Structure 1
């Protein structure tokens, strides 16, 4: 049976995924979509780490989290998308910089790629945890 804290991480990831899906059609909100996609992946990976009994690190780097989870994942993640999502300026003190990539606001195409990637990671982690032996 899955730990309650793992379920809590997955529920938080699910809410971010739902938010990204809701915002995705609006071209003005691609930065917010990117942010919620990054959060979905981060929380999904932290759920996996928690369930495996490891200490969940207080980091936001998807690259580092994927490294910690590599033994539990069935496939290798897209490094290009990880680097892009890791480059988001999430901890900004200025509202205009929320969810920006180094080159500026994500395009609609980038937002869709981030959404698809986040959905794949979330679904894969959830499936792994629900079917663990």
Structure 2
């Protein structure tokens, strides 16, 4: 099935936003001990979320406005789901909300923030291998 110009346009928007989130997360990690790890994890989650939504757009699957990674993963056909364990999906989802606001959550270590960025890069690589090249520009 050919990909329409409109689909390519929407894919590019999702991909660009995902790339921007990954750039922010990766750059912020360079601050070392001064790194706001909650911010890194939030942007890593956003990168994953947006690449999943790009895959859903490419598949022609409607989705609601949600930050729940597992909900988005389960909308994808099993054959193209990224390799994210349920625990990873839950952790990423937590970064979207609970880590952004004051409250009862454990501080996020620098090591955990690095793992979040690695997860985002893994999903990025997976999604970009499936999306049409024209949608990646």
The reply to whether TM is greater than 0.5 is yes
- Structure 1 residue ranges without an equivalent (≥5): none
8 Å CA contact retained: 1:20, 1:33? yes
Task: Please identify which structure carries the higher helix content.
Answer: 2
Match of 1:69 in 2: 76
Structure 1 equivalent of residue 21 of structure 2:
16
Q: TM-score, normalised by structure 1?
A: 0.82
> Aligned runs of 1:93-112 on 2, under 5 Å?
98=100, 103-112=105-114
User: Aligned partners of 1:9, 1:57: CA distance in 2, in Å?
Assistant: 15
Preserved CA contact (<8 Å) 2:67 2:96: no
Q: Deviations over 1:70-107 (max 9, x none)?
A: 434265312222111212362x7xxxx62679632210
Contact 1:89 1:99 in 2 (8 A): no
The answer to whether the Cα contact below 8 Å between 2:49 and 2:69 also exists between their aligned partners in 1 is yes
Count of aligned pairs between the two proteins: 126
After TM superposition, the structure 1 = structure 2 runs for residues 33-44 of structure 1, keeping only pairs within 5 Å, are: 33-44=40-51
Q: Distance in 2 between matches of 1:7 and 1:119?
A: 18
* TM-score normalised to structure 2 length: 0.80
- Following TM superposition, the consecutive aligned residue runs of length 4 or more in structure 1 with deviations greater than 4 angstroms are 99-102
| Unaligned stretches of 5+ residues in structure 2 | none
- Are 2:86 and 1:79 equivalent residues in the alignment? yes
Quote the RMSD (CA, aligned, Å). Answer: 2.3
Q: Shift of the alpha carbon at 1:44?
A: 0.3
